[in-house]
Amino acid sequence: MTNTLGTWRRSAALALGAALLLTGCSGGSGESTDSAPNPDSKEAQQEKPDKKPAESASNPDSCKDLDRDKDVNVEGSVLGTCIAEAMRLAKTGTMVLTSPDLPTNTTVFEYVPEYTAYGTTDGKPSILLTKDSGFSYAGNRWIEADPTSEDPSVQMVTAGIKLAKQSSSVEALVSSMSLCPQWVSKGKTDIKDGTEPEGYQYMCEGTHELMGVTISDMNVWLDDKYRMIHQTSIGSAMGITTPSVATISGWGEPVDIPNPADLK
């Protein structure tokens, strides 16, 4: 059961916003970090994102159709497409997933040049996703996904990596947002008792199913650049219910992701 809710938690939050079975978005259409420039090279330095993207990045074209006024119905596909494009423009970010019943999962991700994500569980390494491969940390070692392997442990990792990539793609993000029967814009609100930065809130009315889990009380908050900064929801499966909170920050700031070549 823990695995079922853990899988839902990761995919719903960054499926709702990276994504991410440990997150982010589009694990299916980019170059791996193996082909990325050396981090110390001039090319890499030029590609590093501005630490203040809100001052320099333009708003996504797809977000022009997303209403921010209070009590206005919003299409899930419009909301999902806008969030996905905003994430790509920001290029990097950090997501922390918390729940009273499960470990804390932290994911850093980047789109430089394409989607790569590195996740930890309670501070310990757990997963690395690139376009061409994926790794899971188990038994004090990294195991690489390999669909041709007959090793049961590798087969299990391969299945998990495949699911992570499917659930963290941009297409999965848009599709998952569309599953909600009705999104409603709540305008600009405080995220938590006025102690958190304000964000534009979108509330899902009703419940919907995602990966076998019933999701209710889902809310997302976006910043002025349409990047998701907070998400809350409740998941129920097999008679067990648990709340989930995702906080996304560090948009456009440098991230530290291991080179896959160093894990082999």
Amino acid in the structure at residue 235: G
Residue 19 has pLDDT above 90, yes or no: no
pLDDT at position 217: 92
pLDDT at position 240: 83
pLDDT at position 162: 87
Decide which of 62 and 21 is more confident. Answer: 62
Least confident interval from 24-33, 169-178, 249-258: 24-33
How do residues 82-107 score in pLDDT, each as one tens digit?
A: 998 998 899 999 999 898 878 898 99
CA distance 239 to 235: 10
Contact (CB, 8 A) for 17 and 248: yes
Residue 169 has pLDDT above 60, yes or no: yes
How do residues 48-65 score in pLDDT, each as one tens digit?
A: 444 333 333 578 999 999
How would you write 140-152 as a 3-class SS string?
Answer: CEEEECCCCCCCH
Q: Which of 66-70, 104-108, 173-177 has the highest mean pLDDT?
A: 66-70
Give, for 200, the enclosing helix (H) or strand (E). strand 199-205
Dig out the tokens for 215 from the structure.
Answer: 């999701």
pLDDT at position 57: 53
Residue 44 has pLDDT above 60, yes or no: no
Question: Which spans in the chain are helix H?
Answer: 2-15, 42-47, 53-56, 76-90, 152-167, 170-179
Mean of the per-residue pLDDT values for the chain?
Answer: 78
Dig out the tokens for 181 from the structure.
Answer: 């029967």
CA distance 177 to 200: 16
Dig out the tokens for 132 from the structure.
Answer: 């061409």
Contact (CB, 8 A) for 241 and 235: yes
Amino acid in the structure at residue 26: S
pLDDT at position 209: 87
CA distance 85 to 29: 14
Share of the chain above pLDDT 70, in %: 75
pLDDT at position 88: 87
The pTM (predicted TM-score) of the whole model is 0.76
Domains (range + CATH), the chain: 2-263 (2.50.20.20)
